[in-house]
Amino acid sequence: MDVDPQGKVTHVEVEVAEGVGERLRDRAIAAGYLSLFPPDPGRAATPLRWRRSLDFAPR
């Protein structure tokens, strides 16, 4: 996810989706756009790139 200085997610990308993740890809992207981050003027020069990993495999 890319986040702008106001804390809004501007881009969401799924790098790898397997199994259930393939079926949830569209929902995961939509959920990424709903994520909230605190405003940070320092991101004007260097935008935040947030990486997240989800694992749906049974343990």
Domain-located, residue 26: yes
* pLDDT of 33 over the 90 cut: yes
55 occurs within a structural domain: no
Which range marks the domain in which residue 16 is found? 2-49
Question: Under a CB-based contact definition with an 8 Å cutoff, are residues 37 and 48 in contact?
Answer: yes
Q: How far is CA 2 from CA 18, 32, 38, 39, in A?
A: 23, 10, 13, 13
In a domain, 57, yes or no: no
Share of the chain above pLDDT 70, in %: 97
Of 39, 54, 52, 53, nearest to 3 (Cα)?
A: 39
Q: Is residue 9 part of a domain?
A: yes
- Is residue 29 included in any domain, yes or no? yes
Instruction: Give the number of domains in the chain.
Output: 1
Q: What is the pLDDT of residues 1-21, one digit of tens each?
A: 999 999 999 999 998 888 888
